[in-house]
Amino acid sequence: MASASHPAAEDPRRSRQAWSVLIVSTLAFTVCFMVWMMFGVIGIPVKKMLDLNATEFGLLTAMPVLTGSLIRVPLGIWTDKFGGRIVMALLMAVTVPAIWLMAYATQYWHFLVIGLFVGLAGGSFSVGTPYVARWFPKQRQGMAMGVYGAGNSGAAVNKFVAPVILVAFGWTMVPQVYAAIMLGALVLFWCFSHTDPSHQVASNAKFTDQLQALKDPRVLKYCQYYSIVFGGYVALALWMVQYYVGEYGLDIRVAALLAACFSLPGGVLRAIGGVLSDKYGAHSVTWWVMWVCWICLFLLSYPQTDFTVLTVDGPKTFHIGLNVYWFTALMAVLGIAMAFGKASVFKYISDDYPGNIGAISGIVGLAGGMGGFILPIMFGALMDWTGIRSSAFMLLYGVVWVSLIWMYFTEVRRTDVLHPQSA
């Protein structure tokens, strides 16, 4: 029998089990994330049907993110205590009825309440992260968590699938199809996942005990980083379809396709971020991620502007603003950076808290998820207040500044960024 710390490296049978767990867990997380982001597409016809303003639309899209975030800490604790297989299966099973009921909602409060229950699917991240990480040796945990985290691409899958169903059958068919997909994913997960009792730890852990980790300044810092790379990703994934429709006047199918240029690399490439974090260290990857986000958000923040200059030949009007092609290109780069950042933040956790991955990842995941809940509401409020759609990017630009300053004073001044191993 291989040791618990290096199961995949020492025993071929356990290695096969580890990869089976990783594959079906990633599939399950992809479906959960697709469901979690459902309002990013069906919210548009619902907004029109209920005549919602931007703030109300932001709250509508954010409600599933709220419960998916709040449940993350207890789910991380339960995963440590009972094992990831049973917790993930029960979580997926609980969401199926709520997804189905979404098709029968007719009033705003219906959508808000049912959205809270659908949002439980978003907590799957805090189950799968420690579940898959413990099946691999430490030097490959960044890769494993990165591959699992690539299930974030469910946000892009939602943008491919939901518009097709919506246009062909109406928005009410989307949650019904998604409920069936979730049920099928649950069956596959249960059939091909495995349990290792040695992975169950801290059987007497309490919720309040786990929250004590928030007294650790490193945990607070990782929460701040994750609120950008994950919270910002979730918020933009929910916001972008309606942004394209409003800013560039696109059809919902074209808007969803272009929005997927951000969501897809922002999910799939997380695995590469995990590999890079294993090779170069979490600090170096996160530092450069923040700078790329800073540059992209600076350019994306500039609103469509017309200004007139008095010249010797009379007044001349100039236009400054991103066209749809440059906007989409910048969003794709931003999505790639966030994908790498999501993986590197969790590499910090596996390095610093190897015996408490479930609880710490739950806390950091909660912070990221709360960013994904608060930001869409703030996007809507800012747009209602200023009338400027790009104000969403202005807000994110300011939050990235906070991360860069914090990282500089706590890490960069003590670490050679270019050569982290020698430092």
Among residues 84, 349, 285, the alpha carbon closest in space to that of 195 is found at 84
Q: What is the pLDDT of residue 1?
A: 37
* Domains, the chain, ordered by start: 7-193+203-414 (1.20.1250.20)
* Residue 291 in this model has a pLDDT that exceeds 90: yes
Q: What is the pLDDT of residue 328?
A: 94
Residues 6+ apart with CB under 8 A from 357: 80, 129, 130, 133, 134, 349, 350
Residues 6+ apart with CB under 8 A from 116: 63, 64, 66, 67
By the 8 A CB rule, do 143 and 274 touch? Answer: yes
Tokens coding 415: 């670490």
Which of 39-43, 217-221, 357-361, 396-400 is predicted with the least confidence, judged by mean pLDDT?
Answer: 357-361
| pLDDT level of residue 240 (50, 70, 90 thresholds) | very high
| pLDDT level of residue 195 (50, 70, 90 thresholds) | confident
* Residue 420 in this model has a pLDDT that exceeds 70: no
Per-residue pLDDT tens over the stretch 199-239: 666 555 566 666 676 677 888 888 889 999 989 998 998 89
Residue identified by tokens 């029968």 is: 104
Among residues 287, 298, 247, 271, the alpha carbon closest in space to that of 148 is found at 271
First-to-last alpha carbon distance for the chain, in angstroms, is 37
DSSP string, 277-344: HHHH-HHHHHHHHHHHHHHHHHHHHPPPEEEEEEETTEEEEEEE---HHHHHHHHHHHHHHHHHHHHH
Q: What share of the chain is helix, strand, coil (3-state, %, to 5)?
A: 80, 5, 15
Mean pLDDT, the chain, integer? 86
Among residues 370, 375, 371, the alpha carbon closest in space to that of 71 is found at 370
Q: What is the pLDDT of residue 361?
A: 75
By the 8 A CB rule, do 278 and 139 touch? Answer: yes
**Spatial distance between the Cα atoms of 335 and 289, rounded to a whole number of angstroms:** 10
Residues 6+ apart with CB under 8 A from 64: 36, 38, 39, 115, 116, 118, 119, 121, 122
Residue identified by tokens 């809507």 is: 380
**Spatial distance between the Cα atoms of 228 and 290, rounded to a whole number of angstroms:** 9
Tell me the mean pLDDT in the region 189-199.
Answer: 82
Q: What is the pLDDT of residue 205?
A: 57
DSSP string, 351-391: HH-TT-HHHHHHHHHHHHHHHHHHHHHHHHHHHHHH--TTH
Per-residue pLDDT tens over the stretch 336-377: 999 899 888 888 887 877 777 767 777 887 888 889 899 999
Give the predicted TM-score (pTM) of the model.
0.80
Residues 6+ apart with CB under 8 A from 205: 77, 80, 81, 359
Tell me the mean pLDDT in the region 332-339.
Answer: 93
Residue 144 DSSP class: H
* Residue 99 in this model has a pLDDT that exceeds 90: yes
**Spatial distance between the Cα atoms of 195 and 18, rounded to a whole number of angstroms:** 10
CB neighbour class for 394 (10 Å; exposed up to 12, middle 13-18, buried from 19):
middle
Provide the 3-class DSSP secondary structure of residue 415.
Answer: coil
By the 8 A CB rule, do 73 and 362 touch? Answer: yes
